[in-house]
Structure 1
Amino acid sequence: MTDSLLRRAQHSLAPLQRRELDAALALCAQDPVASVVPAMHLETASRSGHLSAGLWAVRRRAGLGRELAGVVWNGANFTAILPSGDELADDALRADVAAGAVSRLARPAAMVGPAEVTLDLWGRLEPWWGPARELRPRQVSMAISGPARHVEAISAEGLDLDAVRRATLDDYDALLPACVHMFIGEVGYDPMRHGRVAYEDRLRQLVRSGRAFLQYGTVDGRRAVVFKSEVGALGGGVGQLQGVWVHPSLRGRGLARAGLSAVIAATQATLAPTVSLYVNDFNAPAIAAYDAVGFERVGEFATVMF
């Protein structure tokens, strides 16, 4: 960061312009799985004609003008799409992006994205945006483009399972507690105490758009949600699964594997041909479930939470 302030910056960070949408989408298309979140917002802008304030362009000096060198999404989360190649050029690009972020962006709730870029930027931003509440430097990025392996639950006796299906607003009251339980376990705080309105609005939006899936079963004599997942991001032909959850008392029975098979098939049929997700490298049971249905490792993510 200091070095970037002592030399003339070769890159600028500024709000994305409509004329840059196609070039920005082309950058995201170089790695659709890693770029799904920015691509989602870029596609929304292309359809609606309205550019979100979270979309930022990284521009490189080129003669008397500038050319698009990267894309940054800075909403609830920060994700930077910065192509790499030459070590010195990459260093200059990232130094300038970090300097621009310090001067122009509000600190997000988290930084998420390809590990190599995200951790490099975090090292430059930490003096200004730190400290981090939690750092997850190694998360396995996985994707599946072909059919999922059909997997049956190992032990479904007595559960009276319904089929996995899309949630409707009639399911909202049953789905919300499962989502909150998952969020607390994954993120570390209760969204119903911090940002409840935004959290509930987001969940309702996912339900309305057909991107929330659930399965009912019988737990201790009562009907309840036993499995759920959402397609949290959708762009560039990729649907990114988030919030994969199984009722705590039913874990180890293979419900996640069976449920994922159904969610992948439904997502590929109606939303996106490729389904992706990322998972902490220490979460061996989850990785085993994803392996079982046919996900393949395609990269490494990192998350910095504030």
Structure 2
Amino acid sequence: MTESLLRRAQHTLAPLQRRDLEMALEWCAADPVANTFLAMHLETARRSGGLTPYLWAVRRRSGRALPGMGRETIGVIWNGANLTALIPSADDPDTGDDVRAEVAAAMLGRLNRPAALVGRADLILDIWGRVEPWWGPAREVRANQLSMALATSPRHVASDGSGLELEAVRRATMQDYDELLPASVHMFLGEVGYDPMSHGRAAYEDRLRALIRAGHAFLQYGEVDGRRRVLFKADVGAVGGKVAQVQGVWVHPQARGRGLSKAGMAAVVEAVHASIAPTVSLYVNDFNTTAIAGYRAVGFSQVGTFATVMF
């Protein structure tokens, strides 16, 4: 991608400015479940008064203002460990297909390739198709992930805890860290496909400690093989736009098939509704039919489709 091509483009990327924050948050509010992660970082910037270098504005070089938008800024991108974005639709009559093509070109020129692209499937797969020749190959493309949400009281589903001596689901404390860490690593291995302790161990451990200190890590203990272990865990990985996104749901292999995930998620939803956010969301791979059935049993319903491209 040459500089001459970037100069001819009508859309480009520039560091987000404070004047962009309120408008970007309004865009996120139009689909708060899809944009929870992005809204979280925008809200953090608004509260702190500082701007992170990971937030980028999609700017139009010239032309008339679009309805509901400023004269220059038409979208926003977060480019940290993961990349997520809010960009006008490719079939928007005011912008057409050019905006996404030009944003993809600007991404190649200005952004580092992240560990993953995550977000609304229509946008993420569109972007991926444009940057794949430069950023590919992907380690895995999960093109159809159900985006699910629950804003009402959960349905309680009884778990079969016979022989497990289950304790109540609760927030983790730092005293739980040594037991929670291996459970979190096991979840990550199964979900993402590599050992986080071999790739960025310090950052992974710092992230877990931050979740615990924020009251965003939940767990349940029980007895397996005569030892007290973490049998269920779930994290509130992002909170923005009055939506809490649950991530990292995991059940100990020897406790699966007993309904711990359904009962645990119902307890987590109640706790989140009480003190974190009125809407709880998550996204789950379409091939994980057991998890999807469990979430539906608790009361979650599909509200959109996500995609994840992992490098």
| TM-score computed with the length of structure 1 as normaliser | 0.96
One-letter amino acid of the counterpart of residue 110, structure 2: R
- 1:19-34 to structure 2, matched below 5 A, reads 19-34=19-34
Partner Cα distance (1:9, 1:152) in 2: 57
Partner Cα distance (1:90, 1:158) in 2: 60
Are the structure 2 counterparts of residues 257 and 300 from structure 1 closer, same or farther at C-alpha, using a change threshold of 3 Å?
A: same
Corresponding residue SS for 1:89: coil
> What residue number does 1:44 align with?
44
Partners of 2:88 and 2:99 within 8 A in 1 = no
> What residue number does 1:8 align with?
8
| Aligned sequence identity (%) | 67
Deviation at 1:10, TM superposition (A): 2.0
> What residue number does 1:96 align with?
102
Query: Which deviates further from its counterpart, 53-62 or 202-211?
Result: 53-62
Are the structure 2 counterparts of residues 69 and 6 from structure 1 closer, same or farther at C-alpha, using a change threshold of 3 Å?
A: closer
> What residue number does 1:145 align with?
151
Of the three residues 182, 194, 198, the one matched with 1:193 is 198
> What residue number does 2:117 align with?
111
One-letter amino acid of the counterpart of residue 51, structure 2: L
Corresponding residue SS for 2:129: helix
One-letter amino acid of the counterpart of residue 17, structure 1: Q
RMSD: 1.8
Q: Which runs of 5+ in 1 are unaligned?
A: none
Q: Which runs of 5+ in 2 are unaligned?
A: none
Deviation at 1:247, TM superposition (A): 0.3
Deviation at 1:62, TM superposition (A): 3.5
Corresponding residue SS for 2:248: strand
One-letter amino acid of the counterpart of residue 21, structure 1: L
The answer to whether the aligner puts 1:55 opposite 2:55 as a matched pair is yes
Corresponding residue SS for 1:241: strand
Deviation at 1:87, TM superposition (A): 5.7
Partner Cα distance (1:88, 1:124) in 2: 21
One-letter amino acid of the counterpart of residue 289, structure 2: A
> What residue number does 1:285 align with?
290
| TM-score computed with the length of structure 2 as normaliser | 0.94
| Structure 1 residues 156-199: Cα deviation after superposition (integer angstroms, max 9, x where no partner) | 11111111000000000000000000000110100001100000
> What residue number does 1:232 align with?
237
| Structure 1 residues 131-159: Cα deviation after superposition (integer angstroms, max 9, x where no partner) | 10111111010001111111210x11111
Of the three residues 257, 272, 291, the one matched with 2:262 is 257
Partner Cα distance (2:110, 2:99) in 1: 16
Q: How many residues align?
A: 304
Partners of 2:88 and 2:95 within 8 A in 1 = no
Of the three residues 116, 126, 144, the one matched with 2:132 is 126
Partner Cα distance (1:274, 1:218) in 2: 32
> What residue number does 2:309 align with?
304
One-letter amino acid of the counterpart of residue 41, structure 1: H
Partners of 2:6 and 2:12 within 8 A in 1 = no
Deviation at 1:115, TM superposition (A): 0.3
Of the three residues 276, 293, 301, the one matched with 1:271 is 276
